A and B are shown apart, each in its own frame.
Chain A
Amino acid sequence: MTTILSIKDLRKSYEGGFEALKGLTLDIEQGEILALLGPNGAGKTTLISTICGITSATSGNVTVGGHDIQQDFRAARRMIGLVPQEIALEPFETVANTVRFSRGLFGKPKDDARIEEILRKLSLWDKRKNAVKELSGGMKRRVLIAKALAHEPRVLFLDEPTAGVDVELRKDMWEIVAELKQQGVTIILTTHYIEEAEAIADRIGVINNGELLLVEQKATLMAQMGKKQIEVQLAEPLTSIPAALKQHDLTLTEDGGIVYTYDTHGERTGITTLLNDVAQAGLTLRDVQTRQSSLEEIFVTLVSGGKS
C-alpha cells in the first residue's frame, strides 16, 4: 500500500477566527474509497477546499502523490479532480465545451475521444450540444462530474455527491465510483448518509467540529456491528461477577446488572448456557434487553461527544 494523500496537522481558521479544522491528520491509500461522514458544519467541505486550493490552510501540510500542495501546487493539483457540493456552472456554454475547458485548464492536450468517453459514461452525450442552463439539476451534477474527470485525475473528491439527487443518479454515481476504483483512482467522498458510506466505502472516517473522530476499515466496523449485546438486570444488584459466571465474557453495569457481548455471525451465541448458569447461581432476572451496535449508533455516539 502506498499513501497517495497525506494530511498532517491541518488547521483552518476562517476570517473572524472560527476554527473549522482543528489539526486534522489523515493518510489515504492509493486506490481506496474513503467516506468522510459528518453532520452539516463538521468541516468536510473546508477540508476538501483546503486540499484543493480553494481556501488556504492556516497551518499544517498536505501532500498529494508526494507533492506538497503549496510548494509543488501544479503537480499536486494535476492529480486532483473535484466535484463540489454546490452546482456551479457557466449557464450559456454547451456541455461539451464546458468539459473541454476543464481538461485544458488542467493542462491536458485536447482529446475529443476522451471527452466523448466521459460524456457517454455519464449519459451526457446526447446533451453535449445543449447549453448547460437547459439541463435538469441531476444532469448538471453529471456535468460537474464530467468536468472533474476531464483531466483524468488520480484522486477524486466528491463533496456530497448524492445529496438531493434521484435514485437513478445515485446508483449511477456508485457505479462510476466503483469503475474509477477499478482504474486505480483514489476516491474521497463526503456524505451524511450512513448507508452511502456503508454501500461504497473501503474505509470510513467520522468528522465533527473540525476533528477526525475515527477512521477505520469498513470491514472492521462491520465486524463490530455484527456484535450484539444482551443486558440482564437482576432483582438483587451485583457488586462483582460471581465465580459461577466467570467463564462468560461479562461486564458489570452501573446498576449491578450484567452485559454479555456475543457475535451474531457465530455458530453458537452462548445465550442458553449463560442464562442457565445465571439460574444455577440463584440469581433472579428482573429484565432482559438486547441491543445491536450499528454504524449509526457508533456515529451518533461519536458525534454527540459521548464515549465510544
Chain B
Amino acid sequence: MTVPTDSGERRRAGDRPPLVTELIDGATVQEITEQAWLALVGEDEVLVPLPAPMPADALSSWVEIVGPWTGSVVLTCGRDTALALTRALLREHAPEVLIKEEDVDDALGELANVVGGNVKAVLPGPSVLGLPETGSTPPPGREADTCRVDVLWRGEPLTVSVQSHAERENEVPL
C-alpha cells in the first residue's frame, strides 16, 4: 500500500492545502470500502473494481470531514442498489417486508459514516466528522481534487469518492 505519509512540511504557511490525491490513494479507499462491505453487508459480499454507467435515479449519501483537509466522502449507487444494501444491512431478506425510504436514507448514510470515519483516520488530523446525509444531490466536488473508486456490487455500479468542496478555494490561483 502506498499511502503518502503526512510529513507536515507540506502544510507550511503560505503553501496550498494538500490535494486529496496526495493524501490517500484509490487502493486505500477501495480497501476501506471492502472491509465495510465484508463486515456489515455480508461476508461473501465482494466489490469488483470495474466502472459502469450509473443509473439516472442515483442516490448518494455523504459525510463531511473538516480539518487540515476539508471535503466529503460520497457514496453513490442506484436506488434499487440502495434498497438491496438496506435489506442486507437490516438482514431483512424476505422480499415482502416493506423497506421505508427513511430506512434506505439511514442505512446508506451509515455506510458513508463507516467509510468516512476510516478515510478520516488516514488523512492528516485532527479533523471532525459530520453527521451523514442522504439525497440525490451530494455537495459538488472539485474534479481536480477527488479520489474516486468505481466498483460493482452484485453487478450494479457503486462509487465512493473523497472530494474537496467545489465552493472552497482550496488551491492557490494559477
Query: Do A and B come together as binding partners?
Result: no
Q: Which residues of B contact A (CB under 8 A)?
A: none
Q: Which residues of A contact B (CB under 8 A)?
A: none
